C-alpha cells in the first residue's frame, strides 16, 4: 500500500486536514469558472476529487461534472455529497490510469493531488489530463507554493482535537524537492497511537510550466491565493508571490 492510500483512506484524513466548507467550495468553483471560461453545460473532469466539495459546487453551477478518485473512501463521500445532482457522475478511477480522450472542456486537479509519486508519474498524469481535453479545453492544477511552506509550515507543532492529540513534523528534502510530513495521532481514549508519513513533490513555476508546454499546452498562467483579504476571490491573476500559500497553474489545449 502506498502512503497516500493509507493517509487519505479513513476518517483520520479529516482529523489531520479538515474539510472545505460549502462556502469556500462555492468560491473556488466561481474562480474556476471565471479562469477557465466555464458555464452551464461545460464538461468538467475533477481528477482526484477527494471529498467532492468542488465537484458538487461546479455541478450546482450547471457544469456537467465527472468526479474521479482512486480511493473508495473518497468516492463514497463524493457520491453522498452529490446525491440527487444528475449532472454529477462519480467513478473510482486513478487519474494516472484514466483513458479519456478529447472529452472535457476542462480538467481540474485541486487539493494538491499531484506530487504523491515521482516526477515521471506526475508528467504522465499531466499528459493524461491534456489528452482528456477537447480542442480549446483547459486544465487547472492547484499546487503548494514552496516558498510559503518553507517559511511558514516547516517544523514541529501539535494541537488538540476532541478525540485526540495530533503532532506534526514537516521538513523539506531540497535534493528531492519533496515536502516530508510525519503525523502522529494520540487518541484520548488510550487506544494505540496512529502514525502517518507523507511525501509530496514540490514544483516551482518554471518547472511545471515547462512540463505543460512540453505536452503541447499553451496560454500557461499562474495565480496565487488571496486568503489574507476579507473579501474578493480566493485566487487572482498576477497574485503569485512568496506570500501565496497556494499556486494555481492553468493551461489550454490549442
**pLDDT digit string (tens) for 33-58?**
999 999 999 999 999 999 999 999 99
Indicate whether 93 and 217 sit together in one domain.
Answer: yes
Angle between helices 119-132 and 205-214 (to 10 degrees): 50
What is the CATH classification number for the domain harbouring 181?
Answer: 2.20.25
Q: pLDDT tens string for the chain (254 positions)?
A: 788 888 888 899 888 888 888 888 898 899 899 999 999 999 999 999 999 999 999 999 999 999 999 999 999 999 998 888 999 999 999 999 999 999 999 999 998 899 999 999 999 999 999 999 999 999 999 999 999 888 888 899 999 999 999 999 999 998 999 999 999 999 999 999 999 999 999 999 999 999 999 999 999 999 987 554 444 555 665 678 888 888 999 999 99
Nearest-angstrom CA–CA distance, 244 and 226: 7
Indicate whether 102 and 163 sit together in one domain.
Answer: no
Indicate whether 140 and 30 sit together in one domain.
Answer: yes
Domains in the chain, number: 2
C-beta of residue 58 within 8 angstroms of C-beta of residue 28: no
Indicate whether 38 and 77 sit together in one domain.
Answer: yes
Indicate whether 179 and 116 sit together in one domain.
Answer: no
Nearest-angstrom CA–CA distance, 144 and 217: 21
Instruction: Give pairs for 223-230: CB < 8 Å, separation 24+.
Output: 223/35, 223/247, 223/248, 223/249, 223/250, 224/145, 224/248
Backbone angles phi, psi at 212, to 5 degrees: -65, -40
Nearest to 111 by CA among 186, 242, 236, 4: 4
Looking at 172, 200, 228, the residue that finishes a domain is 200
Indicate whether 140 and 175 sit together in one domain.
Answer: no
Indicate whether 60 and 112 sit together in one domain.
Answer: yes
And the C-alpha cell for 45?
A: 473532469
C-beta of residue 227 within 8 angstroms of C-beta of residue 245: yes
Total count of residues recorded for the chain: 254
Indicate whether 196 and 208 sit together in one domain.
Answer: no
What is the CATH classification number for the domain harbouring 233?
Answer: 3.40.50.150
C-beta of residue 59 within 8 angstroms of C-beta of residue 44: no
Indicate whether 209 and 191 sit together in one domain.
Answer: no
Nearest to 108 by CA among 72, 77, 67, 75: 67
Indicate whether 26 and 141 sit together in one domain.
Answer: yes
Indicate whether 96 and 109 sit together in one domain.
Answer: yes
C-beta of residue 32 within 8 angstroms of C-beta of residue 59: no
Give the N- to C-terminal CA distance of the chain in Å, as an integer. Answer: 38
Nearest-angstrom CA–CA distance, 45 and 26: 17
**Which domain covers residue 220, as residue numbers?**
3-145+202-252
Indicate whether 22 and 116 sit together in one domain.
Answer: yes
Amino acid at each position: 500500500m502506498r502512503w497516500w492510500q493509507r493517509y487519505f483512506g479513513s476518517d483520520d484524513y479529516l482529523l489531520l486536514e479538515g474539510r472545505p466548507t460549502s462556502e469556500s467550495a462555492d468560491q473556488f468553483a466561481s474562480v474556476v469558472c471565471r479562469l477557465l471560461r466555464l458555464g452551464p453545460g461545460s464538461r468538467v473532469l475533477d481528477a482526484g476529487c477527494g471529498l467532492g466539495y468542488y465537484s458538487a459546487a461546479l455541478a450546482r453551477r450547471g457544469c456537467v461534472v465527472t468526479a474521479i478518485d482512486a480511493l473508495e473512501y473518497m468516492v463514497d463521500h463524493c457520491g453522498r455529497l452529490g446525491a440527487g445532482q444528475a449532472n454529477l457522475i462519480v467513478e473510482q478511477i486513478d487519474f494516472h490510469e484514466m483513458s479519456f480522450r478529447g472529452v472535457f472542456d476542462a480538467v481540474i486537479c485541486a487539493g494538491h493531488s499531484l506530487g504523491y509519486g515521482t516526477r515521471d508519474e506526475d508528467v504522465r498524469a499531466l499528459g493524461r489530463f491534456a489528452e482528456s481535453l477537447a480542442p480549446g479545453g483547459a486544465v487547472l492544477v492547484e499546487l503548494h507554493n514552496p516558498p510559503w511552506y518553507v517559511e511558514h509550515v516547516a517544523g514541529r507543532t501539535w494541537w488538540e482535537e476532541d478525540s485526540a492529540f495530533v503532532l506534526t513534523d514537516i521538513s523539506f528534502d531540497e535534493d528531492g524537492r519533496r515536502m516530508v510530513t510525519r503525523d502522529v495521532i494520540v487518541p484520548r481514549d488510550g487506544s494505540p497511537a496512529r502514525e502517518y508519513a507523507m511525501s509530496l513533490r514540490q514544483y516551482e513555476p518554471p518547472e511545471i510550466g515547462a512540463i505543460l508546454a512540453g505536452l503541447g499546452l499553451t496560454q500557461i498562467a499562474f495565480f496565487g491565493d488571496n486568503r489574507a483579504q476579507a473579501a474578493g476571490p480566493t485566487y487572482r491573476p498576477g497574485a503569485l508571490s512568496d506570500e501565496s500559500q497556494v499556486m494555481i497553474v492553468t493551461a489550454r489545449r490549442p
